[in-house]
């Protein structure tokens, strides 16, 4: 008796229980957040069983239960695809969300609307689950839009703050531009493959897939903040730290990468799109790593780090390694969420101080947070045998030994060393040295919620890579033989980055502050991209439309060309050339006398 599908459906549907309890109004009591956290932990444990069954037997399932509508020849039904990707992602996502929920019990403790916060987080989780288990593009789109909406609601959580509202709006706008690509891909599939089901698309294997894959790439650029549609991710740090940890590091922003991974059978055959993704990912990872070097807000540095890692995932897809990209998604979730939670702990302890120039000396004051921050940074940079090593090092090795674009490869290597640089910067400024915060502090990390949640992710960051890599079945064979300098490339550039950053920080720590150079300004202002793109194109569009619509048509063609020009011309010339004085009665009388005289003359002349 195979309980695979029923257990998986049970774990997914158990998540929707707290939402439905809001109908019965049981969500007003103060233990609702605890209920939500417990339910997520139960869902996690329940979903482990089907995952282990999957690992043991390699059995993939598609659950298609409810036929919704048939529009002429298109059949839409509620269909869950439980394959390699979704079976491994669901437990990972549930585990990370469980830890984040426990963390936000501590972080958002004094918030009066904490139940609403948990409801929003839970709705987000449900839509993310819909996204990863979707078997047809329509269900995926439902999940896609759902995570977008929840992201908007959660970024603008403190809606009294103007910056938070603009950041939420920015997130929605940039995601919408990506959605255009998604809808274009859906339309192409509807016309050319007559379906939105993934199985049928892969079976038909259409020939010219440039257009839909371009659309999907645009969708991934919007959702995963690649270069061109990236400014919303650093701005999204206006939301509370649990939101940043859940959405913008582990789950939502990997939705774009996940979409591209889902379509890997189509991308294998299209070399153009692969080169495009490779270059896009390389540009993103380098650009955001450069921007992260001079930021002063700890959450923004971690946000740019997320962006850079996302670029790395896109690069992995570009070298035709979807399984490695997926492995990086799973491992990245652990340490990135933990990094955000550590920064949340620091921020709360220093009384909502987010500027690293005002932190310091936390090495002795907050030992647990320090430990987890350092381990998280080491895992991020790919320290051997921590979590990040199993995915990141494999990616760099495969990129080194594959027949690929050398420029993209160089960019990726530079970005890897920059990862080490800004991680060292965080550690140096926030933890080492003498304290730069106010003496009257509220440093306290004794809360069991905080300690337990970070501890769980800590163990995950150390062991999850090993655990997952040893238990998945082999998909693409990694390259086993390569020259020793290639094998050690990732390690070398990382160590280079570490030492360089440490030396520079120590040397320049006590120097006088000079005027920022041009390079500094480029990096600090995010490469001038938001400054230019948020002002120039809207201004150009609006002024062009105003000029062409109202000025050109209405006032020039209808008003000015004939009537006004004639009247102006006449008035000017008549003033110019007339010498009259306006004695009308005289003129009329003379006219009358002339008339009478002429009539008399002509009639009486014989």
SS3 percent helix, strand, coil of the chain, rounded to 5, is 75, 5, 20
Backbone angles phi, psi at 154, to 5 degrees: -80, -35
Number of C-beta neighbours around residue 588 at 10 A: 10
Three-state SS at 228: coil
Does 512 contact other proteins by CB under 8 A? no
CB of 584 to other proteins, least distance (A): 5
If binding is defined by CB under 8 A, does position 583 make contact with other proteins? yes
- Minimum CB separation from other proteins for residue 591, in Å? 6
Supply the minimum distance, in Å, between the C-beta of residue 606 and other proteins.
21
Side-chain-side CA neighbours of 442 within 13 Å: the count stands at: 9
The answer to whether 295 and 531 are in contact (CB under 8 A) is no
Looking at 55-63, 101-109, 478-486, 577-585, which segment touches other proteins (CB under 8 A)? 577-585
| Binding span for other proteins by CB under 8 A among 281-289, 339-347, 521-529, 582-590 | 582-590
Site for other proteins contains 571 (CB under 8 A): yes
When the beta carbons of 385 and 591 are compared against other proteins, the nearer one is 591
Reference 22, options 101, 123, 107, 105; nearest CA is 123
Contact 366, 445 (CB under 8 A): yes
* Residue closer to other proteins, measured from CB, 402 or 583: 583
Asked if 317 and 79 count as a contact pair (C-beta separation under 8 A), the reply is no
Is residue 600 a contact point for other proteins (CB under 8 A)?
no
In sequence order, what are the residues at sequence separation of 6 or more whose Cβ sits closer than 8 angstroms to the Cβ of residue 343?
A: 241, 298, 299, 302, 373
Select 52 or 595, whichever has its Cβ closest to other proteins. Answer: 595
Does 187 bind other proteins (CB under 8 A)? Our answer is no
Q: How far apart are CA 177 and CA 217, in angstroms?
A: 12
CB nearer other proteins, residue 204 or residue 589: 589
CB of residue 576 to other proteins, shortest distance in Å: 11
Regarding 566 and contact with other proteins (CB under 8 A), the answer is: no
Query: Toward other proteins, which CB reaches closer, 459 or 595?
Result: 595
Work out whether strand 61-71 and strand 74-82 pair parallel, antiparallel, or are unpaired.
antiparallel
Using CB under 8 A, which of the segments 211-219, 353-361, 552-560, 572-580 binds other proteins?
572-580
Q: How far is the CB of 564 from other proteins (least distance, A)?
A: 14
Residue 584 found at the interface with other proteins (CB under 8 A):
yes
Query: How far is residue 502's CA from residue 507's CA, in Å, rounded to a whole number?
Result: 9
Place of tokens 């916060």: 117
Closest contact distance (angstroms) between CB of 559 and other proteins is: 18
Q: Smaller CB distance to other proteins: residue 187 or 562?
A: 562
Q: Which residues contact 600 (CB under 8 A, 6 or more apart)?
A: none
Q: Does 112 bind other proteins (CB under 8 A)?
A: no
Smallest separation, CB 555 to other proteins (Å)? 22
DSSP string, 384-420: TTSHHIIIIIHHHHHHHTSS--HHHHHHHHHHHHHHH
Rounded Cα–Cα distance for residues 294 and 289 (Å) = 10
The angle, 0 to 180 degrees and rounded to 10, between the axes of the packed helices 298-318 and 254-262 is: 10
Which DSSP state fits 156? T
The interface region with other proteins, picked from 161-169, 423-431, 551-559, 576-584 by CB under 8 A, is: 576-584
Give the nearest distance from C-beta 603 to other proteins in angstroms.
Answer: 14
Considering only 589, 597, 598, 600, the residue that binds other proteins (CB under 8 A) is 589
How many C-beta atoms lie closer than 10 Å to residue 375's C-beta? 21
* Residue 410 near other proteins by CB under 8 A: no
Q: Which of 441, 541, 574, 598 binds other proteins (CB under 8 A)?
A: 574
Q: In the complex, what is the shortest distance from the CB of residue 187 to other proteins, in angstroms, rounded to a whole number?
A: 59
* Among 272-280, 396-404, 410-418, 574-582, the segment contacting other proteins (CB under 8 A): 574-582
**Nearest residue to 151 via CA among 181, 176, 114:** 176
Instruction: Verify binding: residue 581, other proteins, rule CB under 8 A.
Output: yes
* Residue 83 DSSP SS3: coil
> Which tokens belong to 334?
């652990």
Would you say 407 or 587 has its CB closer to other proteins? 587
Q: Does 588 bind other proteins (CB under 8 A)?
A: yes
Contact call for residue 158 and other proteins (CB under 8 A) = no
Q: Which is nearer to other proteins, 30 or 578 (CB)?
A: 578
Residue number with CB closer to other proteins (442 or 580): 580
Question: Got the DSSP string for 163-176?
Answer: HHHHHHHHHHHHHH
CB of 595 to other proteins, least distance (A): 8
575 near other proteins, rule: CB under 8 A = yes
- Work out which of 73, 510, 578, 603 binds other proteins, going by CB under 8 A: 578
> Does the footprint of other proteins cover residue 585 (CB under 8 A)?
yes
Contact 274, 322 (CB under 8 A): no
Binding site for other proteins (CB under 8 A): 571, 574-575, 578, 580-585, 588-589, 591-592, 595
């Amino acid at each position: 008796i195979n309980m695979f599908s029923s257990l998986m459906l049970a774990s997914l549907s158990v998540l929707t229980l707290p939402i439905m309890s809001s109908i019965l109004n049981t969500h007003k009591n103060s233990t609702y957040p605890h209920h939500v956290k417990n339910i997520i932990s139960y869902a996690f444990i329940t979903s482990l069983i089907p995952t282990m069954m999957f690992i043991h037997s390699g059995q993939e399932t598609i659950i298609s239960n409810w036929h919704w509508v048939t529009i002429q020849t298109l059949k839409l039904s509620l269909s869950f695809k439980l394959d390699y990707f979704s079976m491994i992602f669901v437990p990972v996502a549930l585990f990370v969300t469980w830890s984040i929920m426990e963390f936000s019990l501590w972080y958002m403790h004094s918030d009066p609307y904490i139940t609403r916060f948990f409801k929003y987080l839970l709705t987000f989780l449900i839509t993310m689950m819909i996204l990863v288990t979707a078997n047809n593009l329509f269900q995926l789109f439902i999940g896609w839009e759902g995570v977008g909406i929840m992201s908007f609601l959660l970024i603008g959580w403190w809606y009294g703050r103007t910056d938070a509202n603009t950041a939420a709006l920015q997130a929605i706008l940039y995601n919408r531009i990506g959605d255009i690509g998604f809808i274009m891909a859906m339309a192409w599939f509807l016309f050319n493959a007559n379906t939105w089901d993934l199985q049928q698309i892969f079976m038909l294997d259409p020939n010219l897939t440039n257009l839909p894959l371009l659309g999907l790439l645009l969708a991934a650029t919007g959702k995963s903040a690649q270069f061109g549609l990236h400014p919303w991710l650093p701005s999204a740090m206006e939301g509370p730290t649990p939101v940043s940890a859940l959405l913008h590091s582990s789950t939502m922003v990997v939705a774009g990468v996940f979409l591209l991974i889902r379509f890997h059978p189509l991308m294998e055959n299209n070399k153009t799109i692969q080169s495009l993704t490779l270059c896009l990912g390389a540009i993103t990872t380098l650009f955001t790593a450069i921007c992260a070097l001079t930021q002063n807000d700890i959450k923004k540095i971690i946000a740019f780090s997320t962006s850079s890692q996302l670029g790395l995932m896109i690069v992995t897809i570009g070298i035709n390694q979807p399984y490695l990209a997926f492995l990086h998604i799973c491992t990245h979730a652990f340490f990135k969420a933990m990094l955000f939670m550590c920064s949340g702990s620091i921020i709360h302890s220093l009384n909502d101080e987010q500027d690293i120039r005002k932190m310091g000396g936390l090495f002795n004051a907050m030992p647990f947070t320090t430990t987890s921050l350092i381990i998280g940074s080491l895992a991020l940079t790919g320290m051997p045998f921590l979590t990040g090593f199993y995915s990141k090092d494999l990616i760099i090795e495969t990129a080194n030994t594959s027949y690929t674009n050398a420029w993209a490869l160089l960019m990726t290597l530079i970005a890897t060393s920059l990862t080490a640089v800004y991680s060292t910067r965080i550690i140096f400024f926030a933890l080492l040295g003498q304290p730069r915060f106010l003496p009257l502090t509220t440093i306290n990390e004794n809360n069991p919620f905080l300690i337990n949640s970070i501890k769980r992710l800590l163990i995950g960051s150390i062991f999850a890579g090993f655990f997952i890599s040893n238990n998945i079945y082999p998909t693409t064979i990694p390259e086993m033989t390569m020259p020793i300098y290639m094998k050690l490339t990732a390690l070398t550039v990382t160590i280079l980055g570490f030492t360089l950053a440490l030396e520079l920080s120590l040397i320049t720590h006590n120097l006088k502050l000079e005027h920022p150079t041009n390079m500094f300004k480029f990096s600090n202002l995010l490469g001038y991209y938001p400054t230019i793109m948020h002002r120039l194109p809207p201004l150009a569009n609006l002024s062009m439309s105003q000029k062409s619509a109202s000025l050109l048509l209405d006032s020039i063609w209808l008003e000015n060309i004939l009537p006004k020009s004639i009247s102006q011309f006449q008035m000017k010339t008549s003033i110019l050339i007339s010498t009259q004085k306006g004695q009308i009665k005289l003129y009329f009388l003379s006219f009358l006398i002339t008339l009478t005289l002429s009539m008399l003359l002509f009639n009486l002349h014989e």
